[in-house]
Amino acid sequence: MKEAMFWHPERNGIRCDLCLRKCFLTEGKKGYCGIRVVKSKKLYNIHFSKILKPEIINIEKSHIFHFLPDTKTVLIQSKGNNLPKPVFSEPIDEKKLVEYEPEKIIELAKKNGVKSIVYSFEEPMMYVETVYRIAKLAYREGLKNVLITNAFVETDVIKNLSKYFNGVLINVFASLNEKIYSDDLEILDVEKLKKSIVYFRKQRFFIEIANHVAFYEGYKEDHKAFAEWIVENLGASIPYHLINLRDMDIFEGKYYPLVPTDLISLYDDAHFAGLRYVYVDDLEEYQSTHCYNCKTPVIEREGLKVTKMNVIGGRCPNCRSKIELVE
* Choice from 126, 138, 176, 299 touching ligand SF4 (CB under 6 A): 126
Q: How many residues bind ligand SF4 (CB under 6 A)?
A: 12
What is residue 180's three-state secondary structure? Answer: helix
Stretch that binds ligand SF4, among 17-25, 236-244, 249-257, 319-327 (CB under 6 A): 17-25
CB of 82 to ligand SF4, least distance (A): 4
Kindly state the helix (H) or strand (E) to which residue 243 belongs, with its residue range. Answer: strand 240-244
* 130 makes contact with ligand SF4 (CB under 6 A): no
* 66 makes contact with ligand SF4 (CB under 6 A): no
CB-wise, 126 or 270, nearer to ligand SF4?
126
* 124 makes contact with ligand SF4 (CB under 6 A): no
- Helical ranges in 123-189 per DSSP H: 128-140, 155-161, 178-185
Which residue, 265, 307, 273, is CA-closest to 287? 307
| Residue 128, CB-side half-sphere exposure with 13 Å CA sphere | 28
The angle subtended at Cα 132 by Cα 82 and Cα 158, nearest 5°, is: 60
* Choice from 16, 52, 148, 185 touching ligand SF4 (CB under 6 A): 16
Q: How many C-beta neighbours within 10 Å does residue 297 have?
A: 14
From the centroid of its chain, how far is CA 19?
A: 15
CB of 9 to ligand SF4, least distance (A): 14
CB-wise, 154 or 208, nearer to ligand SF4?
154
β-bridge partners, 208: 169
CB of 125 to ligand SF4, least distance (A): 7
CB of 170 to ligand SF4, least distance (A): 17
CB-wise, 21 or 201, nearer to ligand SF4?
21
Q: Determine the straight-line distance between the first and last CA of the chain, rounded to whole angstroms.
A: 37
CA distance 35 to 199: 25
* 85 makes contact with ligand SF4 (CB under 6 A): no
CB of 4 to ligand SF4, least distance (A): 8
CB-wise, 153 or 273, nearer to ligand SF4?
153
- For residues 203-232, which are near ligand SF4 according to CB under 6 A? none
CB of 8 to ligand SF4, least distance (A): 12
Q: Are 215 and 177 in contact (CB under 8 A)?
A: no
- For residues 20-49, which are near ligand SF4 according to CB under 6 A? 21-23, 31-33, 36
Q: How many C-beta neighbours within 10 Å does residue 113 have?
A: 9
Which residue, 25, 51, 52, 50, is CA-closest to 40? 25
Angle formed by the axes of helices 190-202 and 219-233, nearest 10°: 30
Sites of contact with ligand SF4 (CB under 6 A): 16, 18-19, 21-23, 31-33, 36, 82, 126
